[in-house]
Amino acid sequence: MKRAIVLRRGRGTAVMVGVAALGALALAGCDTVGRATATRQFAVLDADKTGATDVNIASLSEVVQRNPNDAAAYNTRGAAYARAGNYGEAITDFTKAVQLDPNSASAYSNRALAQRQSGRNDAALQDFSRAISADPNYSAAYIGRANVQRAMGNFEAAYSDLSQAIRLTPESAEAYHARGLVRQAQGQHRAAIGDFDAAIDRNPFVAAPYAARGQSLIATNQYDKAIEDYNAALNVNNKDADSWAYRGLAYERSNRRQEATESYQRATAIDPNNAVARQGLGRSQGGMATLFR
């Protein structure tokens, strides 16, 4: 697995000069930073198109057939179904798992994630709460419930859950990242930057916290630092239209219009409907001398 090379310059600040490749994708995932016009409220589990998941599911089905009363077998196959984007089958397996083991916090939490991916936020909240009741120290369930609460605009409840997750697992980059997103949504950008700093300190090889911190840095007029963060995010994933677009915005606000235009163009090449990039190109192509805030 390739790993990014990180040059640290003090706590919370890093520049990536290598390329990162994530390992096995867990069912849970960090939330993505929001767009200017419509917040992407939670992570989307990418479907595996390689065919490897289908082979894995077939093997896991054999395990289930040999062990029809094993909750863990259903839980594991359910996770594979979810990885393949088959959320209905995943929910069926997780339901069987909790029937066999009503105290399985992981099965409840996994079912909640599949419910969430299916757009059933209320059902997801109930399952995350069941997971916490089964195991009050299961930090993943607090993070998952908080992400749904944030998606529903319940910021105080989300903040409370994430603070508890951080108390339980203080080295969780995901918990700090998610709490930063809550603070960002509330307009508490300096506090959000502190949480994104903590997330990056704990795992500097993921793009999302850099991109999220970049938005709060723009909001606090720290444009050079924002550009640095978007460079780091794009070193990990140079197909992220949002990072190109917001880098363009940071360049534009620091009066570097040629670089801004180039970044906006890169964003629209990836996503022609990216609102930040389209608006930025409209300003630059219209010859506007100032950026209206």
Which residue intervals of 30-84 are DSSP H helices?
52-66, 71-83
Q: Say if residue 287 is exposed, middle or buried (CB neighbours under 10 Å; 0-12, 13-18, 19+).
A: exposed
pLDDT band per the 50, 70, 90 thresholds, residue 24: very low
> Is the pLDDT score of 19 beyond 90?
no
Contact 197, 213 (CB under 8 A): yes
* 284 pLDDT above the threshold of 50: yes
Residue 14: enclosing H or E segment and its boundaries?
strand 14-16
Convert the pLDDT of each residue in 201-211 to its tens digit.
Answer: 999 999 999 99
Residue 81's pLDDT is what? 94
Q: Identify the residue whose tokens are 């749904």.
A: 148
pLDDT of residue 55: 72
pLDDT band at residue 291 using 50, 70 and 90 as cut-offs: very low
256/223 Cα distance (integer angstroms):
11
Predicted confidence at residue 285, as pLDDT, reads 80
Tokens of 218: 């723009």
Q: What is the mean pLDDT of the chain?
A: 84
Q: Is it the case that residue 199 has pLDDT exceeding 80?
A: yes
pLDDT at residue 8 greater than cutoff 80:
no
Confidence label for 100 from pLDDT (cuts 50, 70 and 90): very high
Tell me how far apart the alpha carbons of residues 251 and 83 are, in angstroms, rounded to a whole number: 38
pLDDT at 257 over 90: yes
Q: Quick one: pLDDT at residue 53? A: 65
CB-based contact 180:150 (threshold 8 Å)? no
Stronger pLDDT, 272 or 2, i.e. the higher one: 272
Distances (CA, A) of 217 to 64, 75, 86, 269, 288: 50, 41, 38, 25, 23
Q: Residue 192 corresponds to which tokens in the numbers above?
A: 């959000």
Has residue 233 got a pLDDT over 60? yes
